A = this chain, B = another copy of it.
């Protein structure tokens, strides 16, 4: 078990060595020049790893339609990690009342209205609604990157409340989805090796919420749906933190978004996600805070 003190020490190390700036909320940080330079390098490395996929580039904002969010079933599985967007609607007088409530230290958020938007729960989630209906091909491949939100306030620099996932997504036949998941375990391990990060693959389970969630988690392990690439970031976190994960969703999104293959079967989907911030802090953990001191092959891979 990793102690919070380990997280605080690593975060402070990143701040003191000029990689991060803290804000007044845990898990919400400012990235500085070296961080941004390394994340650009990682972007290029992952782009090369998927260059032969001929994937369609899609980039979404950090928020997406509430209707799509509901179709992912994220509300049932992770209500406690979700981010719902609310705003003010009302008259001049309502706004005066809102400000008075805020000035009095009351919970003025309760006076806002629920919008039709949610924060993005996983970077592929906004994409599925675009493919509702019959696919034109047995194998649609997407290249997605975007901001995700998970309500997990923590000092751990590898567990931000907002972070980016670069994903390669497959939508098509069941065999294709399974193959995508497996192939990207291999490719992900190659990316980790290129970056000099000691990764091992392992069957994963997500922290599904509540009693029903425990069954979902057990099922996820039993069916070997999600494989994570783990890299040790803390002495005691063996075998490590997931920097990459490759996930077969079976027909989950196909059913919920009404996506079918050209022959009319429910589409299966799979995705691999690279955690950009986690890879950056993994590099600092394993190669040190000075990029000049990093192994030359790693610097060359990153173009630094």
Contact = CB atoms under 8 A, between A and B. Distances in A.
Best-buried of A23, A99, A149 by chain B (most CB within 10 Å)? A23
Interface residues of A, number: 69
A147 B59 contact: no
Nearest to A151: B87
Contacts of A76: 99
Q: Is the interface of A mostly helix, strand, loop or mixed?
A: mixed
Contacts of A62: 61-63, 119, 147, 162
A61 to B, nearest CB: 3
A25 B82 contact: no
Interface in A270-286: none
B30 A126 contact: yes
Interface string A13-45: 000000001011100111111011000000000
Contacts of A112: 84
A25 B116 contact: yes
A39 B80 CA distance: 35
A125 B67 CA distance: 30
Give the number of times this chain occurs in the complex, counting copies: 2
Nearest to A112: B84
Given A30-B58, A95-B209, A160-B61, A83 B80 contact: no
Contacts of A119: 62-63, 85
Interface in A41-64: 56-64
Given A70-B102, A83-B87, A129-B24, A30 B161 contact: no
A86 B119 CA distance: 10
Contacts of A67: 24
Interface in A72-101: 75-76, 79-89, 92, 95-96, 98-99
Contact of A24 (B68, B102, B160): B68
28 contacts: A23-B60, A25-B64, A28-B117, A30-B58, A30-B59, A30-B127, A36-B59, A62-B147, A62-B162, A63-B83, A63-B149, A70-B102, A75-B98, A75-B102, A79-B95, A79-B99, A82-B88, A83-B85, A83-B87, A84-B85, A84-B112, A85-B86, A85-B119, A87-B151, A108-B114, A109-B113, A109-B114, A115-B151
